[in-house]
Amino acid sequence: MSDNQSFFPSQPLLITVDGPAGAGKTSVSKILAQRLSYTYVDTGALYRGVAIGAKRAGIQADDDAGLAGFCKKLHLCFEQKADKTLLLMNGEDITSKIREPEISMLASAVSANPVVRKFLLNLQKKMGEKKETVFEGRDMGTVVFPDADIKFFLDASIETRAARRYEELKEQTCQSPADVKTDMKRRDTNDSTRDLAPLKPADDSILINSTHLSLEAVIEKIMECIKTAFG
Ligand code: DC
């Protein structure tokens, strides 16, 4: 066991982990939160929740008025149940439903809508009030928490990211590795070229390219940075 595994920062931190799909943000952020005994918040899940709700209500991603009315009645929250974190939409458990490929694309589409971004900005800010949280997303360090205590931006080559995502999805989907890569490229373009809160590293974020790094090596690097800044 390395020293970093029993390390606790000198003050409560708000940590952000941004990056494109498949860069390893989720695994890294979950383990990081576990090691620090912090809360983990998957903000992509919130966009996916809005996407499912809007789809069921027949509201298109560019329908501002429709989405505004929908968001007013929408209650999204995470609930810890044993070792699982559930996402509840107006009380319904939608945790597994949000992972379908169609919902990934729809989430990317609704996430470009200003009404949705404003609704989730407020919700995320509330979730961050108590600090001691690891927020994973696309604009955590740039827009939602520009004053975060420490910011990371995780990236990897498109080949590596698509291969990782295919491994995760292959039991639940009939998508081929090529389909997964095509979807991922489309989402990358959507997420990084939209006008509002596009995917990009904050100027003061620490960049980590995980193409040739194991999960444990990424965690070690992150813990090392936290230790240097807050040891
Ligand atoms: O991380 P994910 O793949 O679950 O995210 C789904 C979509 O949500 C992603 O394509 C872009 C959007 N998203 C966003 O715009 N901002 C965030 N902070 C998180 C996700």
pLDDT digits (tens, 9 = 90+) for 182-214: 999 998 998 999 999 999 999 999 999 999 999
The Cβ of residue 182 has, within 10 Å, a number of other Cβ atoms equal to: 13
Query: Residue 1: CA atoms inside 13 Å, Cβ hemisphere, count?
Result: 6
* Ligand 1 centre distance from Cα of residue 11 (Å): 29
- For residues 126 and 43, the answer to whether their CB atoms sit within 8 Å is no
The domains of the chain are located at 14-224
Domain 14-224 has CATH 3.40.50.261: no
User: Mutate which of 138, 139, 187, 188 to test ligand 1's pocket (most atoms within 8 Å of Cβ)?
Assistant: 138
How far apart CA 158 and CA 104 sit, in angstroms, is 17
Q: What is the pLDDT along the chain (231 residues), one digit of tens a residue?
A: 456 667 889 999 999 999 999 999 999 999 999 999 999 999 999 999 999 999 999 999 999 999 999 999 999 999 999 888 999 999 999 999 999 889 999 999 999 999 999 999 999 999 999 999 999 999 999 999 999 999 999 999 999 999 999 998 888 778 899 999 999 999 899 899 999 999 999 999 999 999 999 999 999 999 999 999 999
Residue 48 near ligand 1, beta carbon < 6 Å: yes
